[in-house]
């Protein structure tokens, strides 16, 4: 524990030094830039920028939870991006064709996104069991057809031609996620907080969570203990994908109110979520502050660009450095797979 704290402290100091160096290279005032960073992440009129940070943090945290669920079971699911896209597309399709709205309609749209993404994630497990494709490779490869399928549908069958863009028609307002009173923040983050609490219970207090963890720590031990590791792996992939699909549905109903080509890919929600989960060594309760941390970096960098004329690409550089730090901490559980399971 002490070693981990020292490591975290050293990494924080290194990030601060690099941040100061980047500000210096940009020929900007350090204190003005720092002030702009914090204002861009947490300030604004009526804390508008803080609400933006919370909204982005919800999506990143959701994808971090999706990655965490799979990684703890020894399944290197890096197909969150594809599952996110499929979930968003499915939810948009159902929302456009649903004959009613309100809470019941919102529930069905969210459920559709979760089911579609869960099934999509299970394809990687099926590919492993029947074709011998490693989970890492299978989930990664499935990102590409997911993106191309989405691009086709929003460019042709589902396209809102009048908009002139590759996107679906606007969803009926009765299916939009409600906003918090007096703000522009939708209640999507509440869904993510609920999922976060459920996942904590799942990881620490349920038999299923324990079995998934044991499978991730040692698949041979899990097999010797009589656990049905193939079934556990498929269920875990489905759960991971379903959470990613929920994130996609929340982005559609709460932020964009339609599905636009690339809207879930370009912000790098999935990949940032993976880094956030790995940064905290797959500790379930820690993914929430990790997601907020990355969202704050992005929002703060945008604030620096607006106020201090410092390029927001600094955020990307900082994330890249964090990725290098995380790369040395990737759990060895990823070497496990479901190839020899029951």
- In the chain, which stretches have pLDDT less than 70? 1-8, 11, 327-342
Among residues 140, 70, 143, 138, which one has the least CA distance to residue 333?
Answer: 70
One-character DSSP codes across 287-333: HHHHHHHHHHHHHHHHHHHHHT---THHHHHHHHHHHHHHHTT--GG
| Distance separating alpha carbons of residues 147 and 323, to the nearest angstrom | 24
**Quick one: pLDDT at residue 6?**
65
Exposure of 68 by Cβ count < 10 A (0-12 exposed, 13-18 middle, 19+ buried)? buried
**Quick one: pLDDT at residue 336?**
38
Angle at 141 between CA 315 and CA 246, to 5 degrees: 65
**Quick one: pLDDT at residue 339?**
40
**Quick one: pLDDT at residue 333?**
37
Q: Provide the whole-model pTM.
A: 0.91
Give the sign of the dihedral formed by CA 55, CA 258, CA 112, CA 235: negative
| Distance separating alpha carbons of residues 305 and 292, to the nearest angstrom | 20
**Quick one: pLDDT at residue 31?**
87
Exposure of 226 by Cβ count < 10 A (0-12 exposed, 13-18 middle, 19+ buried)? exposed
Contacts of the segment 151-154: beta carbons below 8 A, 24+ positions apart: 151/261, 153/89, 153/93, 154/89, 154/259, 154/260, 154/261
What is the residue whose two structure tokens read 């912000």?
267
Angle at 189 between CA 159 and CA 86, to 5 degrees: 35
Exposure of 197 by Cβ count < 10 A (0-12 exposed, 13-18 middle, 19+ buried)? exposed
């Amino acid at each position: 524990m002490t070693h981990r704290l020292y490591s975290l402290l050293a990494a924080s100091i290194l990030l601060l030094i690099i941040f100061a160096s980047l500000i210096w290279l940009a020929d900007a005032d350090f204190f003005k830039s720092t002030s702009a960073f914090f204002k861009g992440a947490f300030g604004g009129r009526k804390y508008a920028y803080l609400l933006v940070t919370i909204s982005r943090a919800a999506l990143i945290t959701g994808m971090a939870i999706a990655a965490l669920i799979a990684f703890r079971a020894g399944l290197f699911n890096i197909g969150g991006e594809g599952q996110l896209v499929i979930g968003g597309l499915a939810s948009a399709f159902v929302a456009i064709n649903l004959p009613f709205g309100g809470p019941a309609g919102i529930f069905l749209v969210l459920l559709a996104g979760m089911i579609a993404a869960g099934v999509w994630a299970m394809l990687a497990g099926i590919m492993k069991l029947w074709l011998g494709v490693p989970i890492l490779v299978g989930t990664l490869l499935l990102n590409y057809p997911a993106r191309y399928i989405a691009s086709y549908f929003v460019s042709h069958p589902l396209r809102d031609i009048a908009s002139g863009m590759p996107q679906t028609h606007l969803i009926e307002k009765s299916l939009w996620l409600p906003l918090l009173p007096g703000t522009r923040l939708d209640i999507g983050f509440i869904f993510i907080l609920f999922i976060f609490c459920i996942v904590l219970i799942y990881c620490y207090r349920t038999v299923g969570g324990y079995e998934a963890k044991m499978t991730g720590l040692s698949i041979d031990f899990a097999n010797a203990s009589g656990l049905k590791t193939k079934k556990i792996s498929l269920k875990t992939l489905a759960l991971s994908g379903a959470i990613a699909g929920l994130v996609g549905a929340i982005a559609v109903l709460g932020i964009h109110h339609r599905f636009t080509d690339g809207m879930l890919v370009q912000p790098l929600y999935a990949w940032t979520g993976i880094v956030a989960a790995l940064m905290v060594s797959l500790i379930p309760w820690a993914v929430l502050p990790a997601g907020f941390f990355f969202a704050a970096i992005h929002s703060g960098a945008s604030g620096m660009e607006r106020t201090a004329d410092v390029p927001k690409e600094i955020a990307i550089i900082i994330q890249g450095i964090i990725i290098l730090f995380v790369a040395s901490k990737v759990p060895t559980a990823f070497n496990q797979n479901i190839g020899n399971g029951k």
